[in-house]
Amino acid sequence: MNAHDSEKVVGTLERQGYARVEDEAEAGLILYNTCSIRDKAEQKVFHRLNEYKRLQGEGKKFAVLGCVAQQEGEKIFEKAPYVSLVAGSASYRNLPEMLARLEAGEQRITGLDDRQTDLTFETEFTSRSNPHRGYITIIEGCDKFCAYCVVPYTRGKERSRTSASVLVEARRIVDLGYTEIQFLGQNVNSWRDPSGRMSFAELLVAVGELPGVKRVRFTTSHPRDFTRDIVEAIDATPTLCDHVHLPVQSGSTAVLKAMQREYTREWYLERMSWIKAAKRDISITSDMIVGFPGESDEDFEETVTLVGEVKYDAVFAFKFSPRPNTPAVTMADSIPDEVKAERLRILNDRQREIQREHYGRHLHKVVECMVEGYNSARGQVIGRSSQNKTVNFSMGEFGGEFGVQPPVGSYVPVKVTQTLPNSLVGEAAGLPDVLAIPVARTPDFVVLN
């Protein structure tokens, strides 16, 4: 999501006459986009800014954007006085005006929006840097206020775009040559059409049926807003990827209540049953936190048993760390770090066992892979399946007929010959779809002149 924010910032500033450069030494303006979802994010930001300090004598201007900017505000000027601009994500639409003030001689400019803003950062000037996937933010902000999460305080309240504006952007992306579209949002399935025309599931189908679209993804969903019609849409629409990322955070209802997630273990498992009853084999991934304040050994065991019951294709697990301004900051973080670390190890080991077994269901099957890159050392193509699994494959007998490498953004049928805990290995079972038009890659970082 931050990468796509950077794409929108770059596009907006290029429209104002700025031009990207390859190295910060060449830049007149350096923008540092930040995230504060993890522990010690602000320390990492100031460490990086300190590295930039060596460049300040060269007349460069520095800006800090994103969630750490919103969280720390004008304190950034105190700790890094050579920074000239601090702007939260809800203020990006004002960047042209703020930079005009900067060019006019103002030394310190702050753009920190109230979380109650109804505005979203829509721009037709997005400079898309991903060569194979087009991102669309359909909803910004969060109204959930989970006890551990800083997002509602840094991203503001939920603001949804109209279905009409989303469809216009999707068509524009297809015209650029993209065949895969990914919807983004802090809680993407909490999207509500301000025009009242479509549900989230209907929007997925509408974009999936656009001529030229081969894949539609969405992330990240919230269990409270995950409805059965989303599964029905995936079942009925081949272009909707058969992958759902649905963070559970804990398998214990007591811990979920303390986290203010507003659902129970049983509620979550009901949604898992909808997915598992689908006609398509839908891959399921999740996020989990271990060591939340008050989590007992029994609570943790419920998380481990949930993993065994659901059989996720991947779990992204983290030790609890308190974030600024959140209710969890006031809770007694009484669980020692070594206990958190041991619980994390146990959870990851259990998940690894499940993945080793669960990935085996793909052996000898043919999966369609979008080409994302190459591993020249191994002579392999790096692809991604509709289920969001990495597939490393060789072109085999088709290599000589097609050439050395299929282009990034093309699709290749691959027969799986080996399964690993985190990836699949295979061999091309056919020629690539060379009609895909890859978009030229540009740097992910934002360095402007």
Smallest CA-to-CA distance from 406 within 396, 416, 415, 420 is with 396
Total count of domains within the chain: 3
Task: Identify the H or E element spanning 42.
Answer: helix 41-52
Q: Write out pLDDT tens, residues 183-237.
A: 999 999 999 999 999 999 999 999 999 999 999 999 999 999 999 999 999 999 9
Residues 383 and 355 in one domain: no
Between CA 298 and CA 174 the distance in angstroms is 50
Mean of the per-residue pLDDT values for the chain?
91
Residue 243 pairs in a beta bridge with 283
DSSP classification of residue 210: S
Domain of residue 406 covers: 363-428
Which residue is associated with the tokens 């099957």? 365
Which residue is associated with the tokens 């960047």? 95
Q: Report residue 377 as tokens.
A: 């050392």
Q: Write out pLDDT tens, residues 297-310.
A: 999 999 999 999 99
Residues 269 and 345 in one domain: yes
Q: Is residue 349 situated within a structural domain?
A: yes
Q: Is residue 368 situated within a structural domain?
A: yes
Residues 79 and 212 in one domain: no
0.75 exceeded by the pTM?
yes
Q: Is residue 191 situated within a structural domain?
A: yes
Residues 387 and 351 in one domain: no
CB-neighbour burial class of residue 374 (10 A; exposed 0-12, middle 13-18, buried 19+): middle
Residues 346 and 370 in one domain: no
Smallest CA-to-CA distance from 320 within 148, 142, 153 is with 148
Q: Write out pLDDT tens, residues 275-330.
A: 999 999 999 999 999 999 999 999 999 999 999 999 999 999 999 989 888 999 89
Residues 211 and 343 in one domain: yes
Residues 274 and 386 in one domain: no
**399 Cβ neighbours under 8 A, 6+ residues apart:** 428
Residue 33 pairs in a beta bridge with 65
Residues 258 and 154 in one domain: yes
Distances from the Cα of 166 to the Cα of 138, 152, 270, 307, 323, angstroms: 7, 23, 30, 35, 33
